[in-house]
Amino acid sequence: MGTRALLLLTPAFKSDCNLLNHFTKYGFHQTVRQQEKLFRVGVRKFSVHSSLERPNVARLAETARISLTPQEAEEFAPKIQQVVDWFGQLQDVDLQSIEPAIRPDTEAGSFREDNPEAFDNREAIIAAIPNYEEPYIKVPKVLNKD
């Protein structure tokens, strides 16, 4: 596991004492003690985790169905790598006892009845289809010989 440093907007903590006071008050003891070492003035340190495979841009592009040119793939690779490395700082925080939140907890979702309804502007939907032959959407062959 190597360590990298990246200059980033820095959280300015007056002192560790302040930080701990805050957390004693609000209670994220575990999290904070782990986080504490991350907050450094000027430079944010984080680890690059060798256990996670680095992004293979060509393979990702294939998965995402985006035909990249070789030049694009070459140009994207370092930028994507840089951001993914930066994501890596999430590995250094102890979040073990914390439930993931799938959305803001402002309000629970409410689902409507799942009843089909006719949409009254069918023509506009059809007009937007690039390749249409009544009543079908036309596409090239689906099966690949390979």
- For other proteins, which residue of 107, 116, 118, 136 counts as binding (CB under 8 A)? 107
91 near other proteins (CB under 8 A) = yes
CB 137 within 8 A of CB 129: yes
Count of residues that interact with other proteins, criterion CB under 8 A: 80
Rounded to the nearest 5°, which phi and psi values hold at 136?
Answer: -115, 150
Q: How far is the CB of 134 from other proteins (least distance, A)?
A: 15
Q: How far is the CB of 125 from other proteins (least distance, A)?
A: 5
- For other proteins, which residue of 1, 2, 3, 12 counts as binding (CB under 8 A)? 12
Phi-psi region of 82 (alpha: psi -120 to 50; beta: other; left: phi over 0): alpha
Closest CA to 78 of 61, 46, 55: 55
| Subset of residues 16 to 75 that bind other proteins, contact rule: CB under 8 A | 18-19, 22-23, 25-26, 28, 31-32, 35, 38-39, 41-42, 44, 49, 52, 55, 57, 60-61, 63-69, 72
Q: Which CB, 3 or 69, lies closer to other proteins?
A: 69
CB 46 within 8 A of CB 7: no
Closest CA to 56 of 76, 38, 71, 36: 76
